[in-house]
Amino acid sequence: MNMLLCPGMSSEYARIVEEKKNISIMIVQQVEEIFQIYKDIFEIMCEDWRNGRNSQYVYRIDRMQSREMLEAGYTFGFTSCSLNEESGVKDEQLRKKSGLLLLEWMIPAGTPYVLINEILGSNRFAYQNELLLPPFVSFKKRKELPFTKKELEYRDANGKPPKAKYCLEITGMDLGLVEDKDKNFLRKDEIDFAVYVLEKLGSDKCISDKEREQYGEWKCRLQSSVKDCFKSVYQRER
């Protein structure tokens, strides 16, 4: 579901082509339900935020594709982080990612987020001790950090060590401008086209520039509607 909140097709290429993830492409046919899930999660985050949230310092091992996010200055999708530096690190998880980007997040008090274990209680991923940030959280890149000795031992899907490490400081929510509120992304022909493109990608078939552009425009309309929805929730909860 996070893939649909990232711009362009770099996230799809990383997950489907490079990492060979077993992604159910047909889930895109339930995009209206996905949209509702986005909204429900953000409402929970805002409810917790209204009741007060402490500042946090958290850690994330991301893909190098997230350099686009660093340049944009805001999170594209829901972003999971670990409260403890090595609590979420397992070798098999690292080897599923193509290119490792290490991030440390400074989260000020009052930022919307949820603590996963508070919501799920006992679960098989409880050891990761995760915090989940919403999309459209703005941040500034404070500085590049040196790798620890342990981090230099991490290996990605290609057997390569991490390529970069940064400290990021959250500055607020980037919900000010909604470029397009049209809901055409929910039309059957639009959804069928998105499924068609992802099926071609999963079958290693060539995707034309026009198809890539049309798919990107479909995602932009979805993302603008999500942003508009989040803006309404955020303003209501303030």
Element at 143 (helix H, strand E): strand 137-144
Task: Give the position of tokens 């409880």.
Answer: 126
State both tokens at 81.
């982080």
Specify the pTM. Answer: 0.87
Of 112, 51, 115, 107, nearest to 80 by C-alpha is 115
Q: What gap in Å lies between CA 127 and CA 143, rounded to an integer?
A: 29
Per-residue pLDDT tens digits for 159-206: 999 999 999 999 999 887 666 556 678 889 999 999 999 999 888 899
Dihedral of CA atoms 59, 61, 65, 68 in degrees, nearest 10, equals: 10
Per DSSP bridges, beta strands 130-133 and 114-115 are: antiparallel
Summarised one tens digit per residue, pLDDT across range 25-82 is: 778 889 899 999 999 999 999 887 777 778 999 999 988 888 889 999 999 999 999 9
Within 13 Å, how many C-alpha atoms sit on residue 147's CB side? 14
Q: What are the pLDDT digits (tens) for 94-114?
A: 767 878 999 999 999 889 999
